[in-house]
Structure 1
Amino acid sequence: MIGSSSIAVAALLALSPLAQAQAPTNQFPQTPLADKRYDSPAALPYKVDSDTGLLRGSQAGFNICNSTTENQSSLCQTSYFNSVEDFCIWGPIEKDSTVADTEGEMVAWCSKPGHGTRLIPQGALTGIQWIKTPDYVQAVGFLDQSQINIKAGDWGGEMDPHGADLRGNPMGGVIFSTAFGGSAKQVIEWHNFVGGNKFCFKACDPAGPNAAHFCEHIYDRIGCDYNIPNAAQDKVFESCLGDNQDYPGVYTSNGQVMTYTQPAESLGAISTMPYTPKVPASSSCSTFESAKVYTGLPTAAATTTSGGAAATGSVSGSGSATSKAGTAVGAKATGTAAGNGAGSVGVGLVSVMGVVGAVVFLS
């Protein structure tokens, strides 16, 4: 199995000389997404990903979001991760999409109105465990993924602010949080896995010295169980305090601290792992009823294909909500290539969103 960057290069070589001259040849942005800093949501440009002529095309949505952009067709790519009551996850623009095909174009779907985004429909969330630790906040949830436009049966993948081409997945996607005190702060390091009717999302304290380690993005093929070890349960809604986890990929065996190396996808599916992740201790848990917390949400919507108006009064952030920015290097759900230039793989069945059957996990 080969990575999509190789596929993109091969596709360019197959073009006629005239087509090669007109085709995008640069993969990397002038400034990586993870290096872009904004003091507040008010400081955001219309599009965070402003580079042009790159292999994956243009940013699909926009970042200036307010009441004029809040609807079930919004293309807002500014997300929030504040509390068990108020958080967002990434989901596709169009119904029945696979994560592998649309990870670069995901938009924000939020649990509470007020952010200028799409809203997670009533009843889609069936269980949530929110945990705040000394270095990060995380949510692990169960949901009907078809209600946020992910195709039923799709085992999904990973979104993070890096990606093989450094433009992030989604491209231009930024996150803010009030969970670390004071006003909303930009979260620099985060990762979000979604698929198999489950999601997990971790946002690391931007002031923390180990944010890049706790929110590691290189273990895209081993899912929630290994990147965000948890004891979340479907039908249970709770908010807790917790201890820090071990860094993803780091474990202790016979008293020795070890670091797992994710194998090359050319070696085939990951069917076994050398360790079982340790679930950190949690405390001070409060349970609640979802109906009392997730208010103001719409019922499941019809097909969503267009963007909401931007704060400037223009309509769609990309000019075409239905086009796929990553078509030249996009992946299929079979795992032949990843839309961000990273490889993908189907792995053997062990546990939901851990090492999972027919899962495509993308960095």
Structure 2
Amino acid sequence: MAPVALSAFIAASAASLVAAQVGTFPATPLASKRFAYPSGLPYKADTENLVRGIQTGYNICNSTTESQDSLCQTGFVNSVDDFCLWGAPKPNSIVGDTEGEAVAWCTKPGRGTRLIPEGALKGVQFMRTPDYVQVVGYIDQAMINIQHGDYGGEMDPHGADLRGNPLGGLVYSNSWSGSNTSFTQVIEWHNFMGSDQFCFKACDPSKTNAAHFCEHTLDRIGCAFNAPHAAQTGVFESCEGDNQDFPGVYTTNGAVVTYKQPPEELGAITTMPYTARIPASSNCVKYTSSELFVALASATPNAGAVTTSASSASSSATGSSASRSGTSSGTAAGAASTSNDAGVVVMSGFVSVLGVLFSAIFLS
């Protein structure tokens, strides 16, 4: 093929590819969809079959789906004894590989989800603020199928292709309704899982700054910067607190600065230009784990799940100290996460198809 013809062919192919990549994104982003709970729940909130395939779980969850094999993708953040975390469907999973398939693991039965096994939660702090509620703490993550030693990553209702992680994952809370039986759909939320730590923040959808407090683009710097807190191992408490600063926004030398997460190709994030302010808290009420999580006594890990005590001796042999996602929930050290930038999906597909394209040219 002549050089001019080749360049024209490549240009035309690239243009066609860019046009085709529009199909990467859903007609309606997950964060723009509204479903009343429980009457308005769809079987699947995501009905697309695009680059990442189909939603692997479901959103209508009840007694018929409740088991340690449930694929329910509807979660809750209500109180210190009533919340869910996004865990993996299969034992020994890496968050970066399975975030699109994550399932709800909860502390209360009756909603059709899996239950967090007894003893998995090592410390929990629930915080109610003017603009959001959040639950943070420590967990034996292997008991909810996340590989021991995995730095983890972030789940949120956006994702690179606007379909959410997990695909179609919905979150609800009764924190703003004034009734334990009336639930509000949480439009903006984020959940960091990894390094045996977690933080799940649900932002009040009636407030102006929900998207800012539940920022979803800082997926490589974990809980310490996205949900700064004072949770402690062995402590279980419910508190009231002030709002945090918007994630990534800090003041230095009298100037307000917005932190920009560096591209992954620059390597791991090993230092940060600021220390996140931990908001003041008050009216903290302490509990024991046995008081809060009575219903978990019968919950067990999936077969094949390896708990921290059993896996600590083997982690060096398996090389499971970091994940492909690489977001440590507590620190930026070692982070090398997958991006939440929608443009990444287009470009990665573009590069992949061009690779096939060039192979076809030179083999023809």
Q: Distance in 2 between matches of 1:57 and 1:269?
A: 29
Which of 50, 63, 66 is residue 47 of structure 2 equivalent to? 50
- Give the 3 Å change call, closer, same or farther, for CA 359–146 of structure 1 in structure 2: farther
Counterparts of 2:248 and 2:69 in 1: how far apart (Å)?
37
Q: Distance in 1 between matches of 2:279 and 2:118?
A: 31
Distance in 2 of aligned mates of 1:265 and 1:84: 35
Deviation at 1:143, TM superposition (A): 0.6
Change (3 A) 1:32 1:162: same
TM-score, normalised to structure 1, is 0.80
Aligned-pair CA distance for 1:352: 6.1
C-alpha displacement of 1:108: 0.3
Sort the Cα spacing of 1:179 and 1:34 in 2 relative to 1 into closer, same or farther, 3 A.
Answer: same
What SS does structure 1 have at the residue aligned with 2:99? helix
The AA in structure 2 aligned to 1:269 is A
1:90 aligns with 2:109: no
Partner of 1:29: 26
Offset of residue 268 of structure 1:
1.8
In structure 1, the residue matched to 2:107 is: 111
5 Å-filtered alignment, 1:217-232, equals 217-232=216-231
Are the equivalent residues in 2 in contact too, given 1:222–1:361 (CA < 8 A)?
A: no
1:62 is displaced (CA, Å) by 0.4
Once residues 112 and 39 of structure 1 are traced to their aligned partners in structure 2, the CA distance between those partners, rounded to angstroms, is 20
Show the counterpart of 1:266.
Answer: 265
Q: Which has the higher helix share?
A: 2
User: CA distance change for structure 1 residues 130 and 359 in 2, over 3 Å: closer, same or farther?
Assistant: farther
Unpaired stretches in structure 1, ≥5 consecutive residues = 1-12, 14-19, 306-332, 336-343
Q: Deviations 1:159-217 (Å, cap 9, x if unpaired)? A: 00001100000001000100112310000000000011010010000101100000000
SS at match of 1:88: strand
| 1:65 match | 61
Structure 2 unmatched runs, 5+: 1-12, 306-321, 341-364
Q: 1:157 is matched with which residue: 111, 135, 153?
A: 153
Residues 249/63 of structure 1: CA separation in 2 closer, same or farther (3 Å cut): same
> Shift of the alpha carbon at 1:153?
0.8
Q: Which residue of 1 aligns with 2:74?
A: 78
- What is the root-mean-square deviation in Å for CA atoms of aligned residues? 2.1
Distance 2:323 2:106 in 1: 29
Distance 1:68 1:198 in 2: 30
CA distance, structure 1, for counterparts of residue 334 and residue 66 of structure 2? 36
In structure 1, give the amino acid aligned to 2:142. S
Aligned to 2:348: none
Between the aligned partners of 1:87 and 1:253, the Cα distance in structure 2 is 36
The question of whether the paired residues in 2 share the 8 Å contact of 1:155 and 1:359 is answered with no
**What is the rounded CA distance, in whole Å, between the counterparts of 1:180 and 1:287 in structure 2?**
22
Change over 3 Å in CA distance of 1:358–1:34 after alignment to 2: closer
Q: In structure 2, what is the equivalent of residue 40 of structure 1?
A: 37
The answer as to 2:278 corresponding to 1:301 is: no
- Name the CA shift for 1:25/1:245 in 2 (closer, same or farther; >3 Å): closer
C-alpha contact 1:34 1:162 (8 A) present in aligned 2? yes
CA distance 1:267–1:359, shift in 2 (3 Å)? closer
Determine which structure has more spread, i.e. the larger CA radius of gyration: 2
* Contact 1:112 1:295 (C-alpha < 8 Å) held by counterparts: no
| TM-score normalised by the chain length of structure 2 | 0.79
Look up the match of 2:200.
201
Q: Percent identity?
A: 60
CA deviation vs aligned residue, 1:324-352 (integer Å, no higher than 9, x gap)? xxxxxxxxx653xxxxxxxx5x58xxx86
Aligned AA for 1:50?
T
Alignment: residue pair count: 303
Contact 1:73 1:304 in 2 (8 A): no
- Kindly state the Cα deviation for residue 252 of structure 1 after the two structures are TM-superposed: 0.5
3-state SS, counterpart of residue 235 of structure 1: coil
